[in-house]
A and B are shown apart, each in its own frame.
Chain A
Amino acid sequence: MAMVKSQHTSVIYVTLLFAILLMLVPIPDSMRYARPEWVALTLIYWAMALPQRVSIGVAWFTGLLMDVITGGVLGIHAFAYALVIYLVGRLHLQLRQYPLWQQAITILSLIFLVHFITMFNTPISLSWTHWMTVLTSTLVWPLVYAVLRKIRRGFQVS
């Protein structure tokens, strides 16, 4: 029984890996700032649906991987993801009850937080285009939500 269960939780890691790949796949330069925060969204979904599976530790480690992959300062993504997942963990019961638009507003503020922290150390002057990702992330949230819920139900991850 335990064997089967652990097999199913691996689905979570597969989706996380896929999200990381989505963060890396090349897109045109003009769209670079508009790339949704796939990894953060995926983490948020799992932390909301299965808070006992995706803990702060998982989020922190995923963030560390992101730091290494993107070549930023170690610890920035780790901190951002951990903080957001901590908040989601506190809010997950309410979040599940929210209608989609209210969820979207929460997601907007969470992604804003992630983006704010990860940009903390960047050397360039900021303009409004750099915040595009917050908007696009919110826009793709319903999609992420629907797809991941399908996956969760399909594989009966619990």
Chain B
Amino acid sequence: MLLAVVASVLLYFLDTRLDYFKPIRVSLSTVVYPVQKLASMPDDLVTWFSDFFQGHQQLREKIMTLEAQNLTNSVRMQKMQALESENMRLRELLGSSFRLQERVQVAELLSVDLDPFYQHVIIDKGKSFGVYEGQPVLDSLGVMGQVAEVSQFSSRVVLLTDPSHSIPVQIVRNGLRAVVTGRGLGETLQMEFLPHNADVRVGDVLVTSGLGGRFPVGYPVGTIISVDFPQGKPFAQIAVDPAARLSTSREVMLVLPGEKIDFGITFPLQIDEEDLPAEEQPVVDDDAITSPEGNN
């Protein structure tokens, strides 16, 4: 018993205080991957069977909706391309370099429940696919989190809702920067350290600000669903509903490292309004990108 206690305490301190244990952890994670894979099998089987035995009619409907979606998406893409090239041209005029597009890699979640006190998920891509620690993870609707630990064939992703995770964000409407932190399973996110007089409204959309250099700029993080100014507390209490479907997404996207995002935007913020065409104003990214520089 004494041995077990000493070993546990030693492990605990080595693991929390020092970094020596990383390689051991990583190799152990690789060893337990088959167990995790096994645990996710019932769920995978159910999915497979339901796919297999789906009725003809259901499949037809699915294809129809997907085709419709594809059509709207491609229409949007056409417009997007035009806007993107226009944006690039304007930026070139302004003398700044910036990458709008990141490349992504698709990974799949293992349907495994981990400790409910940590908001972690396992994905089926690891070191052998070039996944690296701190890599941003997205789903089709927004940011999900980032890679926390990479082993050979799988990696662990910290979700936005994990209490130890924070992400730098920006309000689309006015460019206000803040930090959004998780609060645990089933809870909303929290926007932190904003004073009572901050210009924050219910319904404001938050995107990544790109500060800190870990998350790329302009991906949706969430929407503000309640703003509260508790008496006697220094900061406002702001609840944020995450944009990504954190508990239902099965496919996730890993953002591949492109060129380092360059923030060397040199132009002054006061751009003459008549220089820009009026209808270009609502472009979200523009606002989100330029304003961090305003106060730095």
Contact = CB atoms under 8 A, between A and B. Distances in A.
Contact of A27 (B1, B4, B36, B113): B113
Interface stretch (A4-12, A69-77, A102-110): A69-77
B20 to A, nearest CB: 11
A20 B9 contact: no
B7 A26 contact: no
Interface stretch (B99-107, B182-190, B285-293): B182-190
B28 interface: yes
A24 B1 contact: no
B42 A25 contact: yes
Given A29-B185, A32-B185, A71-B120, A65 B7 contact: no
A78 B164 contact: no
Nearest to A25: B39
B272 interface: no
A71 B117 contact: no
A17 B35 contact: yes
Interface residues of A, number: 41
A65 B4 contact: no
B113 to A, nearest CB: 5
Given A56-B1, A124-B163, A124-B184, A75 B15 contact: yes
A119 interface: yes
Q: Which residue, of A23, A26, A118, has the highest number of chain B Cβ atoms within 10 A?
A: A26
A21 interface: yes
A69 B156 contact: no
A78 B11 CA distance: 9
Q: Which residue, of A23, A68, A123, has the highest number of chain B Cβ atoms within 10 A?
A: A68
Interface in A123-146: 123-124, 130
A69 B42 contact: no
Interface in A45-102: 56-57, 59-60, 63-65, 68-76, 78-79, 82-83, 86
Given A32-B113, A124-B184, A73 B16 contact: yes
A7 B114 CA distance: 31
Interface in B224-246: none
Contacts of A25: 39, 42-43, 112-113
A76 B7 CA distance: 11
Q: How large is the interface on B (under 10, 10 to 19, 20 to 34, 35 or more residues)?
A: 35 or more
A101 B3 CA distance: 33
B38 A21 contact: yes
Contact of B32 (A69, A124, A130): A69
A60 B116 contact: no
Interface in B26-76: 28-29, 31-32, 35-36, 38-40, 42-43
A74 B115 contact: no
B5 to A, nearest CB: 7
A13 interface: no
A123 B163 contact: yes
Contacts of A72: 115, 117-118
Interface string B148-167: 11000000100000011000
A82 B117 contact: no
A118 B8 CA distance: 12
Contacts of A83: 1, 4-5
Nearest to B28: A68
B150 to A, nearest CB: 12
A56 B120 CA distance: 29
Given A25-B42, A69-B35, A123-B164, 18 more contacts: A24-B40, A32-B113, A68-B28, A68-B29, A69-B32, A70-B115, A70-B118, A71-B115, A73-B16, A74-B14, A79-B4, A79-B8, A79-B12, A82-B5, A83-B5, A86-B1, A123-B163, A124-B163
